[in-house]
Structure 1
Amino acid sequence: GHWAALWFEQDNGTISVVWVNVVKRRIQDNVLTIPRK
């Protein structure tokens, strides 16, 4: 599949990763939230 990862660094220090399918132009439901140490 053709997926692109979008990274968003939030104000509270966590990083949210959203996967976007560039072919079907849809965003995957599950969002990964990575806490910054």
Structure 2
Amino acid sequence: IRDIIPDVKSIHRLTVNPWEDEEFRQEVASTGRKN
């Protein structure tokens, strides 16, 4: 996938549930999308 879209930022997660990861939630919030 990195070869196809190299500009995508990788998010390192330590848990199975991404909502438990503060960095993941911040990245989602930074998109500005509501749905």
Q: TM-score, normalised by structure 2?
A: 0.23
Which structure has more helix as a fraction of its residues? Answer: 2
Looking at both structures, which has the greater relative contact order when contacts are Cα pairs under 8 Å and sequence separation is at least 6? 1
The structure with the largest strand share of the pair is 1
